[in-house]
Amino acid sequence: MAYILLIVGFALLIKGAGFFVDGSSNIARLLQIPPILIGLTIVAFGTSSPEATVSIIAALEGNADVAVGNVVGSNIFNITLVIGLTAFLYPLKVESETIRKEIPFTLLASVALLILMSDMALQGFSSNMITRSDGFIFLLFLSIFMYYVIEIGLKSRKNATDDPVSENISWGKNIGVTIIGLAAIIFGGDLVVKNGTEIAYSLGMSETLVGLTIIAIGTSLPELVTSITAALKKESEIALGNIVGSNIFNILFVLGASATISPLAVNEKVFMDVVFMIALTVVLLIFSRTGFKIGKREGMVLTSAYIIYLIYIVLRN
């Protein structure tokens, strides 16, 4: 039964992503704001909902390894396999603002995570924790990011020319389509995670490994499907914005909210994963500066990096 529900979850994710990209990109046109901002906010928050749900529930149940591993594993999956496969299918156009501000902000959030979880090395404590105060710091960082995005959006609307909007694009229809798509993504992601985890535990995998692989991949499937769908629809700004925004939300909102609800103990093994996540973010920044696009060659490098990482953590655990 778990395998059947897993397939149903995949089907919901794929169909929901199609609706979600269509609805949100049309809303961007109606609002006369760049699609990249929709990708960074509405789409990113929507596709991060499974991570938020899983990590918050895991924190409440005292499964810190799953909560932290889910976020770190999801971010690595997003940078490598999601961007890699998407760029291989259709080159991703990179906006100058994304290179100068959004990707560096992702890097800042990742470095902040490494610092705040290094209690033993930096403060001589007996264990590493992401405390409630750390959680509030993440949420404050998130508020700064949201202020920046809203300010850019308002400026874009002010400077926008009054381009004619197609009569077929209506508020009600597209809000409805976006909500239906988001609901399908969240419900489908939940089915994939629950049944994928059940299958994984039955195969004897550890809690940390499950968090970094099965749950991380499962909760990142919305990002994967949404970005590939957006790229195929020639909405490359939404595809890349979705990943950058989702990684920011994963660290600042998902871990911030989880740690605020219940402090998270950090497994020492996760440190190497966070360092790898930071290194990959730097690589993404470098790739973004090569002709302001991420093409097939970069996509293959990123995809290969995930395969190497996957082999490493399976052998490590």
pLDDT in tens, 252-292: 999 999 999 889 999 888 999 999 999 999 999 888 887 67
Q: Which long-range contacts (CB under 8 A, 24 or more apart) does 205-209 make?
A: 205/317, 206/317, 207/63, 207/65, 207/66, 207/69, 208/65, 208/69, 208/267, 208/269, 208/270, 208/317, 209/313, 209/314, 209/317
CA 160, 22, 163 angle in degrees (round to 5)? 20
Average pLDDT over residues 186-197: 79
| 175-190 average pLDDT score | 85
The pLDDT score that the predictor gives to residue 46 is 74
Residue at token pair 């149903």? 8
Question: What DSSP letter does each residue of 116-161 carry, written as one string?
Answer: HT-HHHHH--SS-EE-HHHHHHHHHHHHHHHHHHHHHHHHHHHH--
Least confident of 37-51, 68-82, 149-163: 149-163
Question: Among candidates 249, 314, 208, which has minimal Cα distance to 75?
Answer: 249
**Domains: count for the chain:** 1
Residue 111 forms part of a structural domain: yes
φ and ψ at residue 216, rounded to 5 degrees: -60, -45
Q: Which residue has the tokens 């290969």?
A: 304
Q: Give 22-60 pLDDT, tens digit per residue.
A: 787 788 778 777 766 777 777 777 777 777 877 887 888
- For 114, the domain range is 2-156+173-316
The verdict on residue 223 lying in a domain is: yes
Is pLDDT of 105 > 60?
yes
Q: Which whole number is the average pLDDT over 138-158?
A: 82
In percent, the amount of the chain with pLDDT more than 70 equals 93
Angle at the Cα of 309 (from 303 to 315), degrees rounded to 5?
140
Using CA atoms, how far apart are residues 201 and 277, in angstroms rounded to an integer?
Answer: 25
**Nearest-angstrom CA–CA distance, 49 and 27:** 20
Cβ 280 vs Cβ 305: under 8 Å: yes
**According to the model, what pLDDT value does residue 280 have?**
95
Is residue 161 domain-resident? no
Rounded CA-CA distance 80/96 in Å is 21
pLDDT of residue 34: 73
Identify the residue with better confidence: 256 or 233.
256
* CB neighbour list of residue 77: distance below 8 Å, 6 or more residues apart: 216, 217, 220, 223, 224, 306
Average pLDDT over residues 290-301: 85
Flag whether pLDDT at 116 surpasses 90: yes
Residue 279: what pLDDT?
96
Residue 236 lies in a domain: yes
168 lies in some domain: no
| Chain mean pLDDT for the chain | 83
pLDDT band at 159 (very low <50, low <70, confident <90, very high): low
Q: Is the pLDDT of residue 137 over 80?
A: yes
Tell me how far apart the alpha carbons of residues 103 and 100 are, in angstroms, rounded to a whole number: 7
Q: What is the band of 62 on the pLDDT scale with cuts at 50, 70, 90?
A: confident
> Is 96 or 223 the better-scoring residue by pLDDT?
223
| 186 is a domain residue | yes
Q: Which amino acid is at 178?
A: T
Cβ neighbourhood burial of 26 (10 Å; 0-12, 13-18, 19+): buried
Whether residue 221 has pLDDT greater than 60: yes
Q: What are phi and psi of 294, to 5 degrees?
A: -110, 110
Which CATH number belongs to the domain containing residue 248 in this structure?
1.20.1420.30
CA angle 192, 196, 198 (to 5 degrees): 125
- pLDDT for the residue 165: 53
